[in-house]
A and B are shown apart, each in its own frame.
Chain A
Amino acid sequence: MSDLREELKYKIIEQLNLEDISVDEIENNDELFGDEIGLDSIDALELIVLLEKDYGIKLSDPKKGKEVFYSVETLATFIENNR
Protein backbone atom coordinates (compact mmCIF):
# COMPACT_ATOMS: atom_id res chain seq x y z
CA MET A 1 0.00 0.00 0.00
CA SER A 2 2.79 2.44 0.76
CA ASP A 3 4.30 1.38 -2.57
CA LEU A 4 1.73 3.47 -4.39
CA ARG A 5 2.78 6.51 -2.39
CA GLU A 6 6.45 5.96 -3.20
CA GLU A 7 5.55 5.37 -6.83
CA LEU A 8 3.54 8.60 -6.93
CA LYS A 9 6.39 10.60 -5.44
CA TYR A 10 8.73 9.24 -8.06
CA LYS A 11 6.26 9.97 -10.85
CA ILE A 12 5.53 13.48 -9.62
CA ILE A 13 9.22 14.32 -9.60
CA GLU A 14 9.76 12.72 -12.99
CA GLN A 15 6.65 14.08 -14.71
CA LEU A 16 6.81 17.58 -13.28
CA ASN A 17 10.59 17.94 -13.68
CA LEU A 18 11.26 18.65 -10.01
CA GLU A 19 14.98 18.17 -10.42
CA ASP A 20 15.92 19.71 -7.09
CA ILE A 21 13.64 17.48 -4.99
CA SER A 22 14.22 13.81 -4.12
CA VAL A 23 11.67 11.13 -3.19
CA ASP A 24 12.71 11.18 0.51
CA GLU A 25 12.06 14.90 0.70
CA ILE A 26 8.34 14.52 -0.01
CA GLU A 27 6.26 13.48 3.00
CA ASN A 28 2.93 11.76 2.35
CA ASN A 29 1.07 14.67 3.90
CA ASP A 30 3.13 17.54 2.49
CA GLU A 31 1.03 20.13 0.73
CA LEU A 32 1.93 19.68 -2.95
CA PHE A 33 0.86 23.20 -3.93
CA GLY A 34 2.23 24.84 -0.79
CA ASP A 35 5.66 26.26 -0.15
CA GLU A 36 7.45 22.93 0.34
CA ILE A 37 6.86 21.40 -3.07
CA GLY A 38 5.59 24.51 -4.83
CA LEU A 39 3.54 23.10 -7.72
CA ASP A 40 1.55 25.50 -9.92
CA SER A 41 -1.51 25.51 -12.19
CA ILE A 42 0.21 23.79 -15.12
CA ASP A 43 1.44 21.05 -12.75
CA ALA A 44 -2.16 20.48 -11.63
CA LEU A 45 -3.17 19.98 -15.26
CA GLU A 46 -0.23 17.63 -15.74
CA LEU A 47 -1.38 15.56 -12.75
CA ILE A 48 -4.78 15.16 -14.42
CA VAL A 49 -2.97 13.69 -17.45
CA LEU A 50 -0.87 11.44 -15.16
CA LEU A 51 -4.00 10.08 -13.48
CA GLU A 52 -5.53 9.18 -16.81
CA LYS A 53 -2.42 7.88 -18.51
CA ASP A 54 -0.95 5.77 -15.70
CA TYR A 55 -4.02 4.83 -13.67
CA GLY A 56 -6.84 5.04 -16.20
CA ILE A 57 -8.77 7.44 -14.00
CA LYS A 58 -10.47 10.41 -15.60
CA LEU A 59 -11.00 13.31 -13.25
CA SER A 60 -14.45 14.19 -14.55
CA ASP A 61 -14.65 17.43 -12.60
CA PRO A 62 -11.34 19.33 -12.80
CA LYS A 63 -12.49 21.52 -9.91
CA LYS A 64 -12.08 18.47 -7.68
CA GLY A 65 -8.36 18.62 -8.42
CA LYS A 66 -7.76 20.85 -5.44
CA GLU A 67 -8.78 18.17 -2.91
CA VAL A 68 -7.42 15.21 -4.87
CA PHE A 69 -4.02 16.77 -5.48
CA TYR A 70 -3.66 18.22 -1.99
CA SER A 71 -0.94 15.75 -0.98
CA VAL A 72 0.54 12.41 -2.01
CA GLU A 73 -1.75 10.87 0.60
CA THR A 74 -4.98 12.34 -0.82
CA LEU A 75 -3.91 11.44 -4.35
CA ALA A 76 -3.11 7.85 -3.38
CA THR A 77 -6.43 7.48 -1.54
CA PHE A 78 -8.26 8.82 -4.58
CA ILE A 79 -6.52 6.29 -6.84
CA GLU A 80 -7.22 3.41 -4.45
CA ASN A 81 -10.90 4.32 -4.31
CA ASN A 82 -11.30 4.71 -8.05
CA ARG A 83 -9.33 2.05 -9.81
Chain B
Amino acid sequence: MKNKYFITDFVKFSKQLKTADVDAIQTELKEEYKALAVQYPKFHKMDLLSKLGFIATELLQKKVNFPSDTALIFQNNASSLVTDIQHQKSIQEKDAYFPSPSIFVYTLPNIVMGEIAIRHQLQSENTFFISENFQADLIKNYTQSLLDTKKASASISGWIDLNTEGYNVFLAFISEKGTLPFTTENLQHKFTA
Protein backbone atom coordinates (compact mmCIF):
# COMPACT_ATOMS: atom_id res chain seq x y z
CA MET B 1 0.00 0.00 0.00
CA LYS B 2 1.30 3.40 -0.93
CA ASN B 3 1.99 5.55 2.09
CA LYS B 4 -0.20 8.61 1.76
CA TYR B 5 0.82 10.38 4.96
CA PHE B 6 3.62 12.86 5.46
CA ILE B 7 5.58 14.55 8.21
CA THR B 8 4.09 17.89 7.22
CA ASP B 9 6.16 19.83 9.70
CA PHE B 10 7.62 19.53 13.18
CA VAL B 11 9.01 21.44 16.17
CA LYS B 12 11.99 20.40 18.18
CA PHE B 13 13.77 21.99 21.13
CA SER B 14 15.63 20.82 24.19
CA LYS B 15 17.63 21.94 27.18
CA GLN B 16 20.09 20.11 29.35
CA LEU B 17 21.18 21.86 32.57
CA LYS B 18 24.25 20.82 34.54
CA THR B 19 22.26 20.34 37.73
CA ALA B 20 18.63 20.07 38.73
CA ASP B 21 17.04 23.50 38.54
CA VAL B 22 13.29 23.55 38.11
CA ASP B 23 13.13 27.31 38.80
CA ALA B 24 15.49 28.04 35.92
CA ILE B 25 13.28 25.99 33.59
CA GLN B 26 10.23 27.83 34.92
CA THR B 27 11.81 31.22 34.24
CA GLU B 28 12.92 30.22 30.79
CA LEU B 29 9.52 28.90 29.71
CA LYS B 30 7.96 32.14 30.89
CA GLU B 31 10.30 34.01 28.55
CA GLU B 32 9.39 31.64 25.73
CA TYR B 33 5.74 32.33 26.42
CA LYS B 34 6.29 36.09 26.27
CA ALA B 35 8.13 35.68 22.97
CA LEU B 36 5.06 33.97 21.51
CA ALA B 37 3.11 37.20 22.07
CA VAL B 38 -0.17 35.43 22.77
CA GLN B 39 -2.71 36.19 25.50
CA TYR B 40 -3.43 32.98 27.41
CA PRO B 41 -3.44 33.64 31.18
CA LYS B 42 -4.04 29.93 31.87
CA PHE B 43 -0.47 29.31 30.74
CA HIS B 44 0.77 30.52 34.14
CA LYS B 45 -1.33 27.95 35.94
CA MET B 46 0.07 25.02 34.01
CA ASP B 47 2.78 22.68 35.21
CA LEU B 48 6.06 22.60 33.30
CA LEU B 49 5.17 19.66 31.08
CA SER B 50 1.97 21.40 29.97
CA LYS B 51 3.89 24.63 29.39
CA LEU B 52 6.27 22.74 27.11
CA GLY B 53 3.35 21.27 25.19
CA PHE B 54 1.66 24.64 24.95
CA ILE B 55 4.77 26.35 23.58
CA ALA B 56 5.52 23.52 21.16
CA THR B 57 2.02 23.49 19.67
CA GLU B 58 1.90 27.30 19.43
CA LEU B 59 5.10 27.13 17.40
CA LEU B 60 3.77 24.27 15.30
CA GLN B 61 0.54 26.13 14.60
CA LYS B 62 2.47 28.98 13.07
CA LYS B 63 3.37 26.54 10.31
CA VAL B 64 0.31 24.31 9.93
CA ASN B 65 -3.41 24.32 10.72
CA PHE B 66 -4.77 21.65 13.04
CA PRO B 67 -8.10 20.14 11.95
CA SER B 68 -10.38 19.59 14.98
CA ASP B 69 -9.90 15.82 14.80
CA THR B 70 -6.09 16.07 15.04
CA ALA B 71 -4.98 13.19 17.28
CA LEU B 72 -2.40 13.69 20.03
CA ILE B 73 -0.01 10.75 20.37
CA PHE B 74 2.71 11.58 22.87
CA GLN B 75 5.45 9.66 24.61
CA ASN B 76 8.03 10.41 27.26
CA ASN B 77 10.44 8.95 29.79
CA ALA B 78 9.57 10.63 33.09
CA SER B 79 5.76 10.76 32.93
CA SER B 80 4.78 13.69 35.20
CA LEU B 81 7.65 13.13 37.65
CA VAL B 82 8.64 16.78 38.20
CA THR B 83 5.10 17.61 39.31
CA ASP B 84 4.81 14.31 41.20
CA ILE B 85 7.82 15.34 43.31
CA GLN B 86 6.21 18.71 43.98
CA HIS B 87 3.00 17.04 45.18
CA GLN B 88 4.95 14.54 47.28
CA LYS B 89 6.74 17.42 49.04
CA SER B 90 3.39 18.88 50.08
CA ILE B 91 2.44 15.68 51.93
CA GLN B 92 5.82 14.36 53.07
CA GLU B 93 5.78 16.14 56.45
CA LYS B 94 2.87 15.28 58.72
CA ASP B 95 2.82 18.73 60.34
CA ALA B 96 2.94 20.52 56.99
CA TYR B 97 0.41 18.41 55.11
CA PHE B 98 -1.12 20.77 52.56
CA PRO B 99 -1.64 19.02 49.24
CA SER B 100 -2.54 21.48 46.52
CA PRO B 101 -5.34 20.60 44.07
CA SER B 102 -3.82 22.77 41.35
CA ILE B 103 -0.59 20.77 41.56
CA PHE B 104 -2.23 17.37 42.00
CA VAL B 105 -4.29 17.72 38.82
CA TYR B 106 -1.04 17.85 36.84
CA THR B 107 0.34 14.60 38.30
CA LEU B 108 -0.72 12.75 35.15
CA PRO B 109 1.27 12.86 31.91
CA ASN B 110 -1.82 13.19 29.69
CA ILE B 111 -2.89 16.53 31.18
CA VAL B 112 -0.63 18.28 28.67
CA MET B 113 -2.75 16.75 25.90
CA GLY B 114 -5.86 18.05 27.65
CA GLU B 115 -4.38 21.56 27.77
CA ILE B 116 -3.48 21.42 24.08
CA ALA B 117 -6.93 20.06 23.21
CA ILE B 118 -8.55 22.99 25.05
CA ARG B 119 -6.27 25.59 23.50
CA HIS B 120 -6.77 24.38 19.93
CA GLN B 121 -10.26 22.90 20.41
CA LEU B 122 -9.19 19.41 19.37
CA GLN B 123 -11.93 16.91 20.15
CA SER B 124 -9.76 14.02 19.19
CA GLU B 125 -7.92 10.79 20.00
CA ASN B 126 -5.36 11.07 22.83
CA THR B 127 -2.86 8.44 23.94
CA PHE B 128 0.15 8.91 26.20
CA PHE B 129 2.91 6.28 26.13
CA ILE B 130 5.88 5.98 28.48
CA SER B 131 9.23 4.45 27.52
CA GLU B 132 12.89 4.92 28.30
CA ASN B 133 13.66 6.28 24.85
CA PHE B 134 11.66 7.54 21.88
CA GLN B 135 10.08 4.58 20.10
CA ALA B 136 9.70 5.86 16.56
CA ASP B 137 8.22 2.58 15.34
CA LEU B 138 5.48 2.57 17.99
CA ILE B 139 4.57 6.21 17.42
CA LYS B 140 4.58 5.68 13.65
CA ASN B 141 2.50 2.48 13.76
CA TYR B 142 -0.01 3.78 16.28
CA THR B 143 -0.49 7.08 14.46
CA GLN B 144 -0.78 5.27 11.13
CA SER B 145 -3.45 3.00 12.57
CA LEU B 146 -5.56 5.99 13.66
CA LEU B 147 -5.18 7.66 10.27
CA ASP B 148 -5.86 4.50 8.27
CA THR B 149 -9.05 3.78 10.22
CA LYS B 150 -10.17 7.40 9.80
CA LYS B 151 -10.26 7.99 13.56
CA ALA B 152 -8.19 11.11 12.87
CA SER B 153 -7.38 13.07 9.75
CA ALA B 154 -4.09 14.34 11.15
CA SER B 155 -1.95 13.83 14.22
CA ILE B 156 0.52 15.62 16.43
CA SER B 157 2.84 12.80 17.39
CA GLY B 158 6.14 12.67 19.18
CA TRP B 159 8.20 12.99 22.33
CA ILE B 160 7.73 15.46 25.19
CA ASP B 161 9.97 14.75 28.14
CA LEU B 162 10.79 16.80 31.20
CA ASN B 163 12.96 16.12 34.23
CA THR B 164 14.47 18.39 36.87
CA GLU B 165 17.56 18.92 34.72
CA GLY B 166 15.96 19.82 31.43
CA TYR B 167 13.60 18.84 28.69
CA ASN B 168 13.40 17.41 25.21
CA VAL B 169 10.50 18.07 22.88
CA PHE B 170 9.88 16.75 19.39
CA LEU B 171 6.36 17.02 18.02
CA ALA B 172 5.58 16.27 14.40
CA PHE B 173 2.42 17.14 12.51
CA ILE B 174 1.35 14.19 10.39
CA SER B 175 -1.19 14.64 7.60
CA GLU B 176 -1.85 13.97 3.95
CA LYS B 177 0.03 17.12 3.00
CA GLY B 178 3.77 17.38 2.60
CA THR B 179 6.76 15.90 0.87
CA LEU B 180 8.59 13.94 3.59
CA PRO B 181 6.92 10.49 3.77
CA PHE B 182 5.71 9.42 7.23
CA THR B 183 7.96 6.47 7.90
CA THR B 184 9.66 5.17 11.06
CA GLU B 185 13.05 6.05 9.57
CA ASN B 186 12.08 9.62 8.74
CA LEU B 187 10.48 10.13 12.13
CA GLN B 188 13.54 8.75 13.92
CA HIS B 189 15.82 10.81 11.72
CA LYS B 190 14.00 14.08 12.45
CA PHE B 191 14.01 13.24 16.17
CA THR B 192 17.74 12.55 16.25
CA ALA B 193 18.98 15.12 13.72
A–B proximity contact (CB within 8 A):
yes
Q: Are B102 and A53 in contact, CB atoms less than 8 angstroms apart?
A: no
- 0/1 interface trace, chain B 64-99, chain A, CB 8 Å (1 if under): 000000000000000000000000000000000011
Instruction: Enumerate chain A residues within 8 angstroms of B101, measured Cβ to Cβ.
Output: 42, 45-46, 49
Q: Are A49 and B98 in contact, CB atoms less than 8 angstroms apart?
A: yes
Instruction: Enumerate chain A residues within 8 angstroms of B102, measured Cβ to Cβ.
Output: 16-17, 42-43, 45-46
In the complex, which residue of chain A has the Cβ closest to the Cβ of B33?
A19
Q: How many residues of B contact A (CB 8 A)?
A: 10
Q: How far is the CB of B189 from chain A (nearest CB, A)?
A: 38
Pairs of residues from A and B, 9 with the lowest C-beta to C-beta distance, nearest first: A45-B101, A19-B44, A17-B44, A17-B45, A53-B98, A20-B41, A46-B102, A42-B102, A42-B101
6-57 of chain A: CB within 8 A of chain B: 16-20, 38, 42-43, 45-46, 49, 52-53
In the complex, which residue of chain B has the Cβ closest to the Cβ of A45?
B101
Measured CA separation A67–B101 after assembly (Å): 20
Measured CA separation A53–B93 after assembly (Å): 14
Instruction: Enumerate chain A residues within 8 angstroms of B105, measured Cβ to Cβ.
Output: 42
Instruction: Enumerate chain B residues within 8 angstroms of A18, measured Cβ to Cβ.
Output: 41, 44
In the complex, which residue of chain B has the Cβ closest to the Cβ of A44?
B101
Measured CA separation A52–B100 after assembly (Å): 11
Chain A interface (Cβ within 8 Å of chain B)?
A: 16-20, 38, 42-43, 45-46, 49, 52-53
Instruction: Enumerate chain B residues within 8 angstroms of A43, measured Cβ to Cβ.
Output: 102
A-B contact pairs, 15 of them (CB 8 A): A16-B102, A18-B41, A18-B44, A19-B41, A19-B44, A20-B39, A42-B102, A45-B102, A46-B100, A46-B101, A46-B102, A49-B98, A49-B99, A49-B100, A52-B98
Measured CA separation A42–B41 after assembly (Å): 15
Instruction: Enumerate chain A residues within 8 angstroms of B44, measured Cβ to Cβ.
Output: 17-20
Instruction: Enumerate chain B residues within 8 angstroms of A49, measured Cβ to Cβ.
Output: 98-101
Measured CA separation A42–B105 after assembly (Å): 9
Instruction: Enumerate chain B residues within 8 angstroms of A42, measured Cβ to Cβ.
Output: 45, 101-102, 105
Q: How far is the CB of B27 from chain A (nearest CB, A)?
A: 12
In the complex, which residue of chain A has the Cβ closest to the Cβ of B101?
A45
- 0/1 interface trace, chain B 97-116, chain A, CB 8 Å (1 if under): 01111100100000000000
Instruction: Enumerate chain B residues within 8 angstroms of A19, measured Cβ to Cβ.
Output: 41, 44
